[in-house]
Amino acid sequence: MNDEVACTHCGDTGFVIVVDARGASRARPCACRRASPEATAGIDGILDAARVPKRYRDCEFDNFDAWGEHAFALANAKALAVRYAEEYPLSDRGLMFMGPPGVGKTHLAVATLRRLLTVKAVPCLFCDVQDLLRQLQATFDQKSGLTQLELLQPVLTTEVVLLDDLGGRQFSPWLEETLAHIVTTRYNDRKATLVTTNYLDEAPDRRTPTLEDRIGIRVRSRLHEMCHLVLVRATDFRSAVKRADHHRMPERVTPRREGA
Ligand SMILES: Nc1ncnc2c1ncn2[C@@H]1O[C@H](COP(=O)(O)OP(=O)(O)O)[C@@H](O)[C@H]1O
Ligand SMILES: [Mg+2]
């Protein structure tokens, strides 16, 4: 028995499980979550609170195109992310978007955050890994007004965190230690972590580092346990749109539904 529970509908989990007409279970945000200050702040307030950078403010599932020769791969990546957001929090694992630069990994990850924030009122945080590491290092040189704990606290405790651009920095024991602390704490607390990375498990050639080369085997294998992989194989969107108006591209396809 727990006398401390504030919401008797959800037992303070923030979700109630509903069964639809076909008998499928879905988690819906409890009314106690919808009444939170963030939920009434409007989309800009919600994205500000989640620290989503201006550059990615408009990233949604609806404006993510499955285009070009990799249309099916893109449609599948999007379908996985849409389904993940729909089913959250049925699985305590997150998603790891892997693929070359410019293929829409951050776009899809932010669209997932946005869905969780707006439809399910889940507290989320966008964390640029390079920024965080720079800020943490600045605390050593006393160039930062914030302490390490203050910088790390939201990354460790927010319900869903996006670690954007993992592996962007050369490997070092300090880097490994810092990343291990973050992912292990979140794993132990069963909090979902979304990740984007330009590095793959198998490099295309011997000169290109793998994700393991960049973040170390310990963090890499923990992430394997924590995340479903979403491989995003495509061409750099930014250089392609310079050559063509992608909204007029004929090869767009409709994302396939999972299990279809
Ligand atoms: N399939 C797509 N549909 C619409 N916009 C896209 C797509 N792929 C990439 N973009 C846009 O191209 C830019 C680069 O994508 P981004 O998600 O930052 O790539 P990555 O994280 O893989 O390096 C962003 O402005 C993003 O919105
Ligand atoms: Mg990115």
Considering the chain, tell me which residue range(s) the CATH 3.40.50.300 domain(s) occupy: 42-248
Q: For the chain, where are the alpha helices, taking DSSP H only? A: 31-34, 42-49, 71-87, 105-120, 129-140, 148-157, 173-188, 211-215, 217-226, 237-243
> For residue 27, what is the DSSP state?
E
Q: What is the pLDDT of residue 239?
A: 76
Q: 103 and 232 in contact (C-beta within 8 Å)?
A: yes
- Give the number of C-alpha atoms closer than 13 A to the C-alpha of residue 81, restricted to the C-beta side: 34
- Strand 25-29 relative to strand 15-19, pairing: antiparallel
Ligand index nearest the alpha carbon of residue 111: 1
CA 104 to centroid of ligand 2, rounded, Å: 7
70 touches ligand 1 (CB under 6 Å): no
Residue 218: closest CA among 257, 179, 250: 179
Q: Looking at the chain, how many residues does it have?
A: 260
Q: What is the pLDDT of residue 108?
A: 98
Q: Which amino acid is at 183?
A: V
Q: What is the pLDDT of residue 16?
A: 82
Low-confidence ranges of the chain (pLDDT < 50): 1-2, 246-260
Which residues, 6 or more positions from 105, have their beta carbon under 8 angstroms from its beta carbon?
Answer: 97, 98, 99, 196, 197, 198, 232
Ligand index nearest the alpha carbon of residue 63: 1
Residue 244: closest CA among 72, 61, 65: 65
If you take atom 6 of ligand 1, which residue's CA is the nearest one?
104
> Chain centroid to CA 255: how far?
20
CA 103 to centroid of ligand 2, rounded, Å: 8
Which residues, 6 or more positions from 147, have their beta carbon under 8 angstroms from its beta carbon?
Answer: 139
Q: What is the pLDDT of residue 59?
A: 98
Q: What is the pLDDT of residue 98?
A: 97
103 touches ligand 1 (CB under 6 Å): yes
pTM of the model: 0.83
Q: What is the pLDDT of residue 204?
A: 84
Q: What is the pLDDT of residue 184?
A: 97
If you take atom 1 of ligand 1, which residue's CA is the nearest one?
65
47 touches ligand 1 (CB under 6 Å): no
Q: What is the pLDDT of residue 164?
A: 98
Position of tokens 């409709």? 254
CATH number of 42-248: 3.40.50.300
Looking from the CA of residue 100, the nearest atom of ligand 1 is 22
If you take atom 14 of ligand 1, which residue's CA is the nearest one?
102
